[in-house]
């Protein structure tokens, strides 16, 4: 998580608190009661978010290797798509020449 994302989350929580306060006042809560209700809901949201984070950590879905694996899969998918697009954009002659070159290199490596 980047610093900018942390600031965005903080701003979102701040705005949600203000909106919650206004919504509770619209539903007839007095000023103090609306503030307490909005704070209670925000605290509940933060507890649930923290609990979900801890669950992911302890279940092994938040480990460095898991994150790295997900990143690698997404990266490989993206690069495979780009290479496929470039290959399909080539003429038939260019494709044949490329395949011959790859075949020669694979023979040289063995």
- The predicted-structure confidence for 20-59, as pLDDT tens digits, reads as follows 999 999 999 999 999 999 999 999 988 998 998 888 878 8
Whether 3 has a pLDDT exceeding 90, the answer reads: no
What is the number of residues in the chain? 110
pLDDT band at 85 (very low <50, low <70, confident <90, very high): very high
Count the neighbouring beta carbons within 10 Å of the beta carbon of residue 38. Answer: 21
Which domain does 69 fall in, by range? 63-110
Residue 13 contacts residue 42 (beta carbons within 8 Å): yes
Distance in angstroms (rounded) separating the CA atoms of residues 46 and 85: 44
In angstroms, the CA 23 to CA 3 distance is 30
Residue 75 and residue 56 share a domain: no
- Residue % of the chain over a pLDDT of 90: 53
Is residue 28 domain-shared with residue 55, that is, in the same domain?
yes
Task: Identify whether residues 6 and 51 lie together within a single domain.
Answer: yes
Assess whether 6 and 57 both reside in one domain.
yes
Kindly state whether residues 90 and 52 are assigned to the same domain: no
Instruction: Name residue, tokens 């989350």.
Output: 9
Question: What pLDDT score does 106 carry?
Answer: 84
Location of structure tokens 């954009």: 89
pTM exceeds 0.85: no
Residue 89 and residue 51 in one domain: no
Q: How does pLDDT run across 44-53, given as a tens digit for each residue?
A: 988 998 998 8
Q: What single-letter DSSP state applies at residue 60?
A: T
Query: Coil, strand, or helix at residue 90?
Result: coil
Residue closest to 99 by CA, chosen among 83, 87, 89, 84: 87
């Amino acid at each position: 998580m980047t610093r900018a994302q942390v600031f965005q989350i903080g701003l979102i929580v701040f705005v949600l608190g203000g909106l919650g306060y206004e919504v509770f006042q619209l539903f007839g809560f007095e000023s103090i009661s609306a503030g307490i209700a909005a704070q209670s809901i925000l605290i509940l949201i933060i507890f649930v978010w923290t609990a979900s984070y801890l669950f992911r950590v302890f279940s092994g879905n938040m480990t460095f290797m898991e994150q790295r694996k997900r990143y690698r899969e997404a990266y490989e998918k993206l690069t495979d798509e780009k290479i496929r697009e470039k290959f399909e954009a080539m003429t038939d002659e260019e494709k044949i020449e490329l395949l011959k070159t790859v075949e020669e290199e694979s023979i040289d490596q063995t």
